[in-house]
Amino acid sequence: MNEWKQILSAAGLNNVILTGYVANSQLPLYQAAADILLMPYQRKVAGHSGGDIAQVTSPMKLFEYLASGRAILTADLPVLREVLSESNAAFYAPDDLDAFFSQFDQLVRDPSLRQLLADAARQEARRYAWKERMQSILNKFSIINGAKK
């Protein structure tokens, strides 16, 4: 970590803090302290088997970020689009670093856009709370059961 601290210092990035390991119980505090939460996923994600799991991944981070009430900047992947949209997140092409920086810059410069995305993200998070998910599953079972009669 010392090497990274030297790189940051040489670049004049004194407002970047390298924390090292952070316990899960402390993550909401860090998320709350941020204005923008990043999800820089790649098009291909190697699983333990060596296979590409990018199309089937469902990162817990996604749902934690939604609930945090912060603006989200994410790679534009189909699996993430199942939950996120332009109304609750900012997107960039996963292989386009310039697009990432452009979207990041726009969010930094536009606090009202950040707040709009953050509010919509928190609202979307309610759809994925355990109680709502359970009710949705029970409703589907009721429909299936009713169709069998």
- CA–CA distance, 55 with 41 (Å, rounded to integer): 11
- For 75-118, the pLDDT digits (tens) are 999 889 989 999 999 999 998 999 999 999 999 999 999 999 99
Higher pLDDT, 47 or 16: 16
- The tokens 């316990």 sit on which residue? 23
DSSP label at residue 71: E
Mean pLDDT score across all residues of the chain: 87
User: What is the pLDDT, as a whole number, of residue 127?
Assistant: 85
Longest dimension (CA), the chain: 71
- CA–CA distance, 36 with 128 (Å, rounded to integer): 21
- For 129-138, the pLDDT digits (tens) are 777 767 777 8
Give the confidence band of 46 by pLDDT, cuts at 50, 70, 90. low
User: What is the pLDDT, as a whole number, of residue 53?
Assistant: 58
DSSP labels for 121-143?
A: HHHHHHTTSHHHHHHHHHHHHHH
Would you state the structure tokens that stand for residue 129, as one six-digit string? 């709370």
User: What is the pLDDT, as a whole number, of residue 30?
Assistant: 93
20 by Cβ neighbours in 10 Å (0-12 / 13-18 / 19+) ranks as exposed
Q: In the predicted model, what is the mean pLDDT of residues 45-65?
A: 72
Q: Do the strands 90-92 and 36-39 form a parallel or antiparallel pair, or are they unpaired?
A: unpaired
- For 56-80, the pLDDT digits (tens) are 566 788 999 999 999 999 999 988 9
Closest alpha carbon to 65 in 21, 107, 128: 128
User: What is the pLDDT, as a whole number, of residue 86?
Assistant: 96
Give 74's strand partners.
39, 91
Q: What is the CATH number of domain 35-148?
A: 3.40.50.2000
Counts for the chain of helices (H) and strands (E), in that order: 7, 3
Domain with CATH 3.40.50.2000 in the chain: 35-148
